Structure 1
Amino acid sequence: MSELLRNIKIITLVGFLIASFLILGIRGAEFGIDFKGGTLFQIEFDEPILDLEERARITTTISQRLDWTGLRDTTVNFFGDEFVIAQMAETDPETIERIESLLMKQGRFEVVIDGETIFMGDGIIDIIKDPSRGYSLQPQGDSVMWVLPFVLKSDAAERFKDLTWHRCTLIGYAQDTGRQYDCDRTYFYIDRPKESILVIPRDQFELDRILLLQGNLNENIPLETDIEEILLNSSMPNFVVEQDGFTKEQLAELQIDISTNPIAIVPTSILPSQKQELLDIGFELNETFVDDEIPYIWQATGLKQVILLSEDITNVDIPDEQKAGTEAISNLVIRGFAPTLEQSQQRRADLEILLESGSLPVGVKSISKETISPLLGENFLFNAGIIGILALLVVAIVIFLRYRVLKLTAPIVFITLSEVFITIAIVSLISKFDLGAVAGIIAAVGTGVDDQIIITDELMKGAISGEGSLAARIKRAFFMVIAAAATTLATMLPIILIGFGLGKLVGFAITTSVGVLVGVLITRPAFGEIAKEIISKY
C-alpha cells in the first residue's frame, strides 16, 4: 500500500483533487439561468449578419440594452447568421417586458424637418445626466415632464444650424413678452420605417386628423399637430383608401411602388378586402395595433416627439450675412411627458438606453423568450443532485453484483466521484454550470464507468486464465480506453470549434471533452494502478 501511495499516477490524482477543492472552495461554481433563474431571449433579425464587425456591434448593443446599469449577469452570442441568444439574470415580468420592448427596436433615432434628416443618433456625442444642466423631472399639472439634455457632434451641430436657420416667423408683439414667433416643428423618430408604404383607411385618417389637432400631452403630441406634416416627414408613400377599396390610380401606383417598398404598413382594423388587394399585388403586410387614444399614423411611422423650435435656436436675430461666422448650437434638450413620475422616469431611461447603446445595423424580425424562476432553478439543482447520488448508488450496486468484491467496487465509485469533482472544477473556470454541463458530466461519467469495467475485466480475465503479463493486460485495456476517448473527442471537437452560439450544445461538448480528458489523463491511470494492486492479491 505504501508503494501505491508513492506512485506518480496516484499522486497526480490527489494533486488534482486538492486543486479542485481549492478552486471550488475559493471561487465556487458559477451557475447558469437553468439553476439560478433568469430569462433567455432568442432574437431573429430581418436578414443574415455575415460581417464580423457588424456582429460585434450587435452583441455590444444588445448587451448594453440588457444591462444598462452594468450590474446584471448577461451573455449575448450569435446562433447561426440570423439569430442571437441573449441570457440575463432577471425574472421580474415588468422588467422583462420593458427589456423585450427595447430589444425589438432597431434603435435608429432621427430628427427630421420638412422631410430632411437634421441628425441621427450617431450624431449625439454625449447624454447629460447632470441636474444642474437641465436633467430633470418636473410636475406639469396632471403630468410629469422629463428633460434629457444632450450634446451634438460638431458636424451634426452645423447641419442643425443650417436646416433650422431662421425657421421662426415674427407674427406680432406682446406688451409683456415682446416679440412673438411662429416656429417650425421638428419630428423625432425611432425606427422610422424603410422600404415601406403606409396605408390609411379613410375613417382612420379622419380620426387621426382630429386626435392630432387635439393633441395628447402624455404621448408628447402637441396641440394642432398637422397630419400632412407627419406624412411629409415620414418620407413614406402613403395611400388613403376609401371604404370601397383602392382606386385604379392607387392600384397602378402600388404596382410601381412594390419594387422599392415591398412592405405595406396597415392598421389591424383594415378591411379584409383591402388587405387581400395588397397581398395580391405581393406586399408583405406589417399590421399596427390601433389605440383609440393614440393616432394610428403616430405609431405606424415611429414618431415619438414633435418639438417646436425656439427663436434663440433658430438665430432669428442674426442677419443671413453673419450665418457663416455664427457658432453652431450643440447643446440641445428633448422634453417629454408621462402621467406619473415612474412612467416619466422610465420613458426617459428607455430613450437614454437607445441613444447610448446605438442602433442595430439591421431590424429585429421577432423575439421569443423563456423565463426560469430562481426558486424553480434551485429546486431543479437540488433534484439533480439527489438523482446523481441515487444513480451513483445504483451503479455501485450493479458493479458489486458483477464482481462480488467490495474492494473493487469502492475504488470504481471513488474514481467516478473524483472524476466528477475534478471535471466540475475545471469547467467552472471555463464557463457557467448549466443543463448542458450536467448532461456532459453524465456522459463523461458513463464513459468513465465503462472504461473502468473494461480495465477491471481485462485484469481479472488474465488473472484467472494466466494469459499474458499484468503489464500486457493493462496495456491492452488502455488501448481500448484511449480509442473510445479519441472517438468521443473527435465527435465533440467540431461542435466546440464551429458551434459558437449553439448555447447548451457547446456547453455539453466542452464538459464531455473535459470529463473524457480528465479520465484518460488522470483518473483512469490511477484506477489502473489501484486495480493492479487489488487484483494481484485477489
Structure 2
Amino acid sequence: MKRRTKKLLLNWRIILLTVFLIGSVVTLAVRPLTFGIDISGGVALVAQTEHPVDADTMQLVVDSLQKRLNTLGLRDITVEAQGDQIVLVKVANVTTAEEADAIKNVIESQGVFYMEFDGVIFGTGQDVEYVGIYQIKPDNTWSVPFRISKSAAEKFAELAKGKTGWPVDMFLDPPVNSLLVVPDSVYNLMNSSEFNAQVPEAPTLLQRITKAFNITVVAYANQTADELADMAEGREKIVLVDLNQGLQSELENMNVTVRLVQRGPGESDHALIIRTLGLYGPYSVGEGLATGQPQQDVQITGTASDRLTAEQEARQIYTVLKSGSLPVKLNVVGMEFISPRLGENFKYQALLAGIGALIAVFAIVYFHYRNWKIAIPVASTSFFEAIIILGFAALIQWNLDLPSIAGIIAAIGTGVDQQIVITDELLGGTKETRITRRSNVLKRMGRAFFVIFASAATTIVAMSFLLIYFVGTLKGFAFTTILGVVIGILVTRPAYAEIAKYLLGED
C-alpha cells in the first residue's frame, strides 16, 4: 500500500498538478484578481461615429481612443468596436459624474498631434496630409512613410539644417500650459540625455517641452497645495505625477484644475514620462533631412529585436500619425454607471454560484456511483481547476466580469463530464465489472482520452470564433472557457486519471 502511495505521489502528472496549484495560490496571494466594471463598478459610454466607417478606420479609432484614455492615468480601460458606427468604452472604478465627463470630453475631442524639434512646434495633425502603409523588412527594421504640408516641411528644414541625429519628438494630447509636479527620479530623467536620441549635447526633454508647450516641471519636495497653486498661476492645470491623492483633493478644493497620473504596476520612470506627455519618440534626424532642403515626403524608421515587436512599433506610429487627423468624429450617445456596491453583490452571487456548482457536482456524482472514492476526487479536481484558472487570470491581470466567471463554471461542467468518462472506463462501464489487467487499463484510458481530446477540440474551436469574431462580454466567456478546457486536458484530467486508478485499485 505504501509503495502504491509513493508511486502515486511521484507520478509526474500529480507533481504537475501540485506545481500548478501551488503556483496559482501564491499568485493569488501576491497579485489579487482584477474585475471588470460589472463587478468593481465604473462607467460604460456608448459613442457613435458621424457616419458608418470601414473596419480599418474603426480599428484606428479604437487604438487612438485607447492611447488617449491611457494618458489620463485611468486603469482597466476597455475600448470595443461594435459594428461600423458604435464604440463601447468601459472604465472601471469611475464613480463620479466629473470623472465620467472628463472621459466623455476625451472621446468627443479629435485630439491634437504635435511634431516638435529643438523646442519648436513645426507641425500639427493638420499638417499630416497622408500616411502610408508601414513596412517591415526581413531584418526587422520598419518604416512608416507620411507626407507633411509644405509649410511644415520648410519650417523643419530650417530648424534641422546641419543637425543630423538630433531628436525629433511627436506628441498626442500633451499637457500644454501646465505645471508638472513629479518625483525627483522622474525630474532627473527628464533633465538628462535619456531622450536625446543620438546627440547627448542636444537640449534635454525638459528643456524642449518647456519651450514648446509652456510646461513647467518641478520636483516634488513636500510643497503645500498653496505653494503649488501659486507656482501654477496663469496655467491651465496642474499635473500630479505619481503623487498622493490627498494633494489632488486640496488643490481641487481651491478650484484648481488637477490631473492625477498614477504609476502603473511595475511601470518605469521612462514609461511614466512617455505616458504622461503623450510622447512618441524621440526619433533621430537622418542625414537626408538635415540638408536644409524642404522635403514633404518623409518617414519614421526603427529596428526591433523580432518581427512581432517591429509590427507593434510600426503600427503604433502609424496610429499616432493618423489619429492627429481622424477622418470621423465621435459623439457620446449613452452613459451608464454601475455601482461598486451592486458589483460587490454580483461578486457574492458569483461566489455562491461557484460553490453551489461544486456541491451539486459532488452530490450528483456520489448518488450516481454511491462511492466516496469517486465523488470526492471529482469535486476536488473541479475545485483545483477553478483555483488554477483564477491564478492564471491573476497572473495576466485578466479583468474578470460575470461572463468570464460563467465561463469558468462552464469549463468545470465540461471537466466533470470528462472525469465521468474516465471513471466509467475504469469501472468497465458497469459497477460489477472491474478492470484487473494493466493492458486493459491502458486501452480504456486511451479510449477515454480520445473522447476527451475530441470534446475539448470541439469546445476550443467553437469558443475561438467567439473570441476572435465577437466583441463585448462574449470574449470573457470564451477566454475563460478555453483556458479551463486547456488546463483540464493538460493538467487536471491526467492527474485525476492517476488518482482514480489508485483509489479504485486499477494501477
Structure 2 residue aligned with 1:524: 493
User: 1:395 and 1:348, CA in 2 relative to 1: closer, same or farther beyond 3 A?
Assistant: closer
TM alignment of 1:456-471, pairs within 5 A? 456-461=423-428, 464-465=432-433, 469-471=440-442
Native 8 Å contact 2:76 2:399 kept in 1: no
Native 8 Å contact 2:31 2:395 kept in 1: no
Native 8 Å contact 1:104 1:367 kept in 2: no
Aligned match of 1:401 in 349, 367, 372? Answer: 367
Structure 2 residue aligned with 1:9: 13
**How far 1:71 moved relative to its partner?**
4.4
Q: Identity over aligned residues, as a percent? A: 37
SS at match of 2:48: strand
Question: Structure 1 CA distance, aligned partners of 2:337 and 2:107?
Answer: 16
AA aligned to 2:44 is L
Question: Structure 2 CA distance, aligned partners of 1:358 and 1:381?
Answer: 41
Aligned match of 2:31 in 21, 27, 33? Answer: 27
1:58 maps onto 2:106 in alignment: no
1:535 maps onto 2:504 in alignment: yes
Question: Structure 2 CA distance, aligned partners of 1:151 and 1:368?
Answer: 37
1:435-489 deviations in whole A, cap 9, x for unaligned? Answer: 2210110110110011111111221135733578121122211111111111101
1:211-237 deviations in whole A, cap 9, x for unaligned? Answer: xxxxxxxxxxxxxxxxxxxxxxxxxxx
Provide TM-score, normalisation by structure 1: 0.53
Question: Structure 1 CA distance, aligned partners of 2:344 and 2:419?
Answer: 33
1:442 maps onto 2:409 in alignment: yes
1:481 maps onto 2:481 in alignment: no
Aligned match of 2:97 in 85, 93, 100? Answer: 93
SS at match of 2:87: strand
1:368 maps onto 2:339 in alignment: no
AA aligned to 1:129 is N
1:497 maps onto 2:468 in alignment: yes
User: 1:488 and 1:131, CA in 2 relative to 1: closer, same or farther beyond 3 A?
Assistant: closer
Aligned match of 2:80 in 62, 77, 85? Answer: 77
Question: Structure 1 CA distance, aligned partners of 2:179 and 2:104?
Answer: 29
Native 8 Å contact 2:75 2:91 kept in 1: yes
Structure 1 residue aligned with 2:484: 515
Question: Structure 2 CA distance, aligned partners of 1:452 and 1:333?
Answer: 66
Listed as ranges, the gaps of 5+ residues in structure 1 are 110-118, 133-148, 153-331, 335-340
Native 8 Å contact 1:4 1:529 kept in 2: yes
Mean alpha-carbon deviation: is it higher for 463-472 or for 80-89? 463-472
AA aligned to 1:30 is T
Listed as ranges, the gaps of 5+ residues in structure 2 are 114-122, 128-169, 181-209, 214-233, 237-251, 261-276, 279-319
User: 1:128 and 1:368, CA in 2 relative to 1: closer, same or farther beyond 3 A?
Assistant: closer
Question: Structure 2 CA distance, aligned partners of 1:59 and 1:24?
Answer: 31
Question: Structure 2 CA distance, aligned partners of 1:348 and 1:512?
Answer: 39
Question: Structure 1 CA distance, aligned partners of 2:330 and 2:179?
Answer: 34
TM alignment of 1:158-307, pairs within 5 A? none
User: 1:99 and 1:342, CA in 2 relative to 1: closer, same or farther beyond 3 A?
Assistant: farther
Structure 2 residue aligned with 1:388: 354
TM alignment of 1:274-353, pairs within 5 A? none
Q: How many residues align?
A: 324
AA aligned to 1:440 is G
User: 1:4 and 1:362, CA in 2 relative to 1: closer, same or farther beyond 3 A?
Assistant: same
Native 8 Å contact 2:51 2:328 kept in 1: yes
**How far 1:77 moved relative to its partner?**
3.1
User: 1:83 and 1:536, CA in 2 relative to 1: closer, same or farther beyond 3 A?
Assistant: same
AA aligned to 1:472 is K
SS at match of 1:461: coil
Provide TM-score, normalisation by structure 2: 0.56
Native 8 Å contact 1:46 1:362 kept in 2: yes
User: 1:386 and 1:513, CA in 2 relative to 1: closer, same or farther beyond 3 A?
Assistant: same
Native 8 Å contact 2:41 2:338 kept in 1: yes
AA aligned to 2:6 is S
**How far 1:493 moved relative to its partner?**
1.8
Question: Structure 2 CA distance, aligned partners of 1:516 and 1:537?
Answer: 26
**How far 1:391 moved relative to its partner?**
2.2
Structure 2 residue aligned with 1:129: 177
AA aligned to 1:520 is I
**How far 1:388 moved relative to its partner?**
1.4
**How far 1:5 moved relative to its partner?**
0.7
User: 1:343 and 1:360, CA in 2 relative to 1: closer, same or farther beyond 3 A?
Assistant: farther
User: 1:150 and 1:103, CA in 2 relative to 1: closer, same or farther beyond 3 A?
Assistant: farther
Question: Structure 1 CA distance, aligned partners of 2:67 and 2:434?
Answer: 68
Aligned match of 1:38 in 31, 42, 45? Answer: 42
TM alignment of 1:148-159, pairs within 5 A? none
AA aligned to 1:490 is V
Mean alpha-carbon deviation: is it higher for 421-430 or for 444-453? 421-430
SS at match of 1:411: helix
Structure 2 residue aligned with 1:292: none
AA aligned to 1:13 is L
1:322-381 deviations in whole A, cap 9, x for unaligned? Answer: xxxxxxxxxx999xxxxxx989866999xxx99x99664312255222321111111211
Question: Structure 2 CA distance, aligned partners of 1:524 and 1:333?
Answer: 63
User: 1:464 and 1:40, CA in 2 relative to 1: closer, same or farther beyond 3 A?
Assistant: same
User: 1:398 and 1:108, CA in 2 relative to 1: closer, same or farther beyond 3 A?
Assistant: same
Native 8 Å contact 1:419 1:523 kept in 2: yes
Native 8 Å contact 2:24 2:387 kept in 1: yes
Question: Structure 1 CA distance, aligned partners of 2:373 and 2:108?
Answer: 61
Native 8 Å contact 1:447 1:516 kept in 2: yes
1:417 maps onto 2:383 in alignment: yes
Question: Structure 2 CA distance, aligned partners of 1:130 and 1:513?
Answer: 47
User: 1:72 and 1:511, CA in 2 relative to 1: closer, same or farther beyond 3 A?
Assistant: closer
1:433 maps onto 2:400 in alignment: yes
Mean alpha-carbon deviation: is it higher for 64-73 or for 526-535? 64-73
Larger of the two Rg values belongs to structure: 1
Cα RMSD after superposing both structures: 4.0
